[in-house]
Amino acid sequence: MTYYDFIAQEYKKSKQLPFRLHIEAYTYFHLLGNLVGKSILDLACGEGFYTRQFKLQGAARVIGVEISEKMIELARLEETRQPQDIEYIPGDVLELGKIGSFDLVVASYLLNYASSREQLLKMCQNIFANLKLGGRFVTMNNNDSQSPISYLTTEKYGFIKSIDSPLVEGTPIKYTFTSSDSDHKFSFDNYYLSRATYEWAFQSLGFKEVRWHKPIVSPQGVEEFGQEFWQDFLDCVPIVGIECLK
Ligand SMILES: C[S@@+](CC[C@H](N)C(=O)[O-])C[C@H]1O[C@@H](n2cnc3c(N)ncnc32)[C@H](O)[C@@H]1O
């Protein structure tokens, strides 16, 4: 059992929060670009929220890998309801090895589960191994550069981060989400590793270019909520996009 087996349904529901749609997903797809005809390996695919969208946007072949049995179960349930020819493989990215050669390897919120540089390197090795030469790794991740002083600022968007000890390599960061339709809360931990450690891991493997991207708001999000509503999120930005070229 993994922790996500217990929070799978709640996590799935949290994808409906406005920031998920108007900032997280919008930024992610902006970085991914045109997916038509692409082969995509989605690591830590969860219940398939993005995995399904990749196929809808024209990807030719999509495989999801996920450690939580419950998350995989939810993903497969959707695949049974509406078959998209997506393959879901239960497994730990730390032990994945090479299962193919993909145009894109994606892994939203996987790397922040590495609690040490050794684990991060292992995850990155398995990402690198599954990419074609010229392929890209794209992910959304915890923003290491956000100051803990601003962690409460995101409360109005439906989640906050918190820490029990100073932010050093491996410090757990608790994410607490509030459901959009109730005051019900659920939490899970990620781990802090500095940008220097991430850069070290990407460079050790030989990624040619590494780019860090500040999230952006969708025009629809601005229209619906107003620019002012998003300003705190953008000023204290809690997540970051990462793009690496093999
Ligand atoms: C925050 S969720 C993100 C899910 C999905 N990528 C999304 O954006 O909706 C993180 C996921 O990573 C999975 N995970 C964490 N460590 C993993 C590992 N070592 N191998 C595979 N999956 C992992 C968890 O089970 C969970 O489903």
To test ligand 1's pocket by mutation, which of 68, 124, 186 has the most ligand atoms within 8 angstroms of CB?
68
**Could you read off the pLDDT of 116-152 as tens digits, one per residue?**
999 999 999 999 999 999 999 999 999 999 999 999 9
Tell the residue nearest (CA) to atom 8 of ligand 1: 108
Q: How confident is the model at residue 243 (pLDDT cuts 50, 70, 90)?
A: very high
For the chain, domain boundaries: 4-144+194-245
Strand order in the sheet with 131-142: 87-90, 61-66, 39-43, 102-106, 131-142, 239-245, 209-213
Q: How far is the CA of 226 from the centre of ligand 1 (A)?
A: 31
Mean pLDDT of the chain: 95
- What mean pLDDT comes out for the span 58-69? 98
| DSSP codes of every residue in 84-99 | ---EEEE--GGG----
Instruction: Reply yes or no on whether the pLDDT at 231 is more than 70.
Output: yes
For the CA of 49, the nearest atom of ligand 1: 9
Instruction: Reply yes or no on whether the pLDDT at 181 is more than 70.
Output: no
To test ligand 1's pocket by mutation, which of 1, 67, 71 has the most ligand atoms within 8 angstroms of CB?
67
- What mean pLDDT comes out for the span 183-198? 93
Helix axes 69-81, 4-14, angle to 10 degrees: 50
Q: How confident is the model at residue 182 (pLDDT cuts 50, 70, 90)?
A: low
Contact 44 CB / ligand 1 (< 6 Å): yes
C-alpha torsion sign, points 82, 84, 85, 90:
negative
**Could you read off the pLDDT of 77-92 as tens digits, one per residue?**
999 999 999 999 999 9
Predicted confidence at residue 4, as pLDDT, reads: 83
Q: How far is the CA of 228 from the centre of ligand 1 (A)?
A: 32
Task: Count CB atoms within 10 A of the CB of residue 33.
Answer: 12
**Could you read off the pLDDT of 8-55 as tens digits, one per residue?**
888 888 888 999 999 999 999 999 999 999 999 999 999 999 999 999
- What mean pLDDT comes out for the span 225-242? 97
Closest CA to 192 of 125, 137, 117: 117
What is the enclosing helix (H) or strand (E) of 161? strand 159-162
For the CA of 44, the nearest atom of ligand 1: 22
Predicted confidence at residue 3, as pLDDT, reads: 83
Predicted confidence at residue 10, as pLDDT, reads: 82
Instruction: Reply yes or no on whether the pLDDT at 180 is more than 70.
Output: no
Closest CA to 158 of 232, 213, 212: 232
Q: What CATH fold (topology level) applies to the domain 4-144+194-245? A: Rossmann fold (3.40.50)
